[in-house]
Amino acid sequence: MEPTQSSPKMGATAIILGLVIALLVAGSAYVFVKLPKKDEIIVPETPIVGNRETTGATPTSVLMYKDGSYTVLGKYNSPGGAQEIQITLTLKEGLIVDTTALPLATQPGPLNFQQKFSAGFKTLVVGKSIDQVTLDKVSGSSLTPKGFNDAVLKIQAQAKA
């Protein structure tokens, strides 16, 4: 059996086919990347540090909050009835720098959920802006995040500058 040689025509066809595939891949990748339009690019006039501009002016898109620690009761309803959890947030320039949750439930089920929440929520909120923190699911804690979210709204109201 003699080795077969490809004709120059087959080699050119393979190159063209490779180029077509490369163009299709590149074109489909472009569809998934949206470049901002000229009027969508926002360039701040002064550098932003935390949530305050270095000039001391308050950005219009960010509410300012007084630094400090705030403790409130977050309330929510569970199948076991009305529940409360004590939430403490420490704010610095609108960022949550520390937080604790104290379970207050008296029934075993809700107490278990609040304890799971207390053990798993901190890493989800520390370092985040208080304006952007809303919890949905945390470490099998059932409805406890609703109590946390209620507490955040109360603390926002207390801490407004």
On whether the pTM is more than 0.85, the answer is no
CA angle 96, 100, 105 (to 5 degrees): 135
The pLDDT of residue 77 is above 90: yes
* pLDDT at residue 109 greater than cutoff 90: yes
Domains and CATH numbers, the chain: 68-159 (3.90.1010.10)
pLDDT of residue 139: 84
At 5-55, the pLDDT tens digits run: 555 566 777 777 777 777 666 655 554 444 444 454 454 444 444 444 333
Confirm if 74 and 150 have CB atoms less than 8 A apart: yes
- pLDDT for 2: 55
Q: How far apart are CA 32 and CA 61, in angstroms?
A: 28
Higher pLDDT, 41 or 64: 64
Considering only CA atoms, which of 130, 136, 137, 134 is closest in space to residue 155?
A: 130
Percent of the chain exceeding pLDDT 70 equals: 67
Residue pair 38/127 in contact (Cβ under 8 Å)? The answer is no
